[in-house]
Structure 1
């Protein structure tokens, strides 16, 4: 799909949604490098009533989603996120800062439990929750053991490998994730349903054992999100845009 075709689909999406459409489509981690080009684009658009962000991302830096939401909202009265396929992890955090999320049959959000670099294998990202599940497992092993002394001999060397500084840093990361989620939900996505904020925050940060768990349209509604189901021409346009950008990225790789 050529750039002109993508432009035509974006124009049609703006007509269908009565909005200005921004696109963030990436297979690399979301980070602060998005902020300057985003600001330039917003300056070109100027203040407008409604902005839709067409979003495809598997997540990234913890602090970036809050910055993106704050920046976009400086330029609009209403903000919605359109998810053709995947908005996972930190990208799901962006959805918490929207007034509405537009989803179709293949759309997925995900848990927002944070990932962090492995302390030894720097290229590997591990869920921070894995540390707490490890500690919980070791504790249960000692409590339920028929021979606590032998279990202690096995478990103690493992515990000694856990750096207290790292554990403290992981705890701080989890608390920061909860703080951002609560702020965004209470101000935006769940502003009309504040009693759900704590429950939804806990569900998104602790309630799913798989970081890749797919939260689809109907489950997002059950969480209390304001979900618009993309159907008919709206979904066709959204999906064609997804395919167009996916094709663009494949061409760049080649």
Structure 2
């Protein structure tokens, strides 16, 4: 081999290394999913969104719940017998209302028990899906979020409120149209959440929760902690299986710089010496 051959050999090896690493990671994920399914006698479905980095150009791509996600999750539910429980692991900032509602309704209609696991966060559309489950298992430090509708990145409840506070002759036509759309969005979202909650909670609690979660009580990024979720009356538990944490560790955020957090990835027991 001459120098040029050696150069191309190392170039190809370096180019293929990420591919091999990804294949090994995917195989490890499949084994971890199989372990949880065997342990819990369930179907495991993950909805995990990270900020991906393109391998060649290096620019970030923000991930969120979209129609492709709803197609895949619904397909997984269809491939699951009606008497087989589903464990839905959520790690997402949210996404399209239509896609989130499609998933949530499929979850609601599954006859066997559906458990939503939230190891870190499931905001907005992720919370909408979690509300459709029979119960939600949250890490003690995990958070959910409100599901109030947003129009053009503005909260629908605030659009309605600001128009109400001004004399109608001082409001331009565009703002009146936006307020009308916002009011409809609030009603539609409340009705959808009420639909998901009925049968999971009594009628009074379902009505109360649908109002709180959809009508702009908080900012859209307000973190609903485990304790707050309990106080609201949501059906939440905190006994997250270790296997879920282990599975989530196989979905690392792509890192293109020195990590901001670092530690030895082994359990640290009391009484042990370093």
TM range (shorter): 0.7 to 0.9
Distance 1:242 1:6 in 2: 9
| 3-state secondary structure, aligned to 1:52 | strand
Q: Matches of residues 55-74 of structure 1 in structure 2 within 5 Å?
A: 55-72=90-107
Corresponding residue for residue 182 of structure 2 = 170
245 and 17 in structure 1: CA distance in 2 versus 1, 3 angstrom threshold: same
Corresponding residue for residue 246 of structure 1 = 252
Contact 1:66/1:97, CA 8 A, preserved across alignment: no
Higher Rg of the two aligned structures: 2
Q: With structure 2 as the length reference, what TM-score do the two structures score?
A: 0.71
Q: Deviations over 1:177-208 (max 9, x none)?
A: 100111111133x2xx3221121111112353
228 and 19 in structure 1: CA distance in 2 versus 1, 3 angstrom threshold: farther
Distance 1:54 1:220 in 2: 18
Contact 2:123/2:143, CA 8 A, preserved across alignment: yes
Matched, 1:86 2:121: yes
72 and 201 in structure 1: CA distance in 2 versus 1, 3 angstrom threshold: closer
What is the aligned counterpart of 1:130 among 128, 152, 158? 158
Greater RCO (Cα-Cα under 8 Å, separation 6 or more): 1
Moved over 3 A (4+): 15-18, 42-48, 72-76
Distance 2:160 2:36 in 1: 44
Corresponding residue for residue 44 of structure 2 = 21
Structure 2: gaps of 5 or more residues: 1-23, 51-62, 257-274
Deviation at 1:42, TM superposition (A): 3.4
What is the aligned counterpart of 2:220 among 205, 208, 211? 211
Q: With structure 1 as the length reference, what TM-score do the two structures score?
A: 0.76
Corresponding residue for residue 223 of structure 1 = 232
Contact 2:148/2:216, CA 8 A, preserved across alignment: no
| 3-state secondary structure, aligned to 1:163 | helix
What RMSD, in angstroms, separates the aligned Cα atoms of the two structures? 2.6
| 3-state secondary structure, aligned to 1:2 | helix
Distance 1:238 1:75 in 2: 22
Aligned residue-pair number:
221
Deviates more, 1:34-43 or 1:106-115: 34-43
Q: Deviations over 1:130-173 (max 9, x none)?
A: 2134235x44xxxxxxxxxxxx8xx965x226432222111111
Whichever structure has more helix as a proportion of its residues is: 1
| 3-state secondary structure, aligned to 1:49 | coil
Deviation at 1:107, TM superposition (A): 1.4
| 3-state secondary structure, aligned to 2:37 | helix
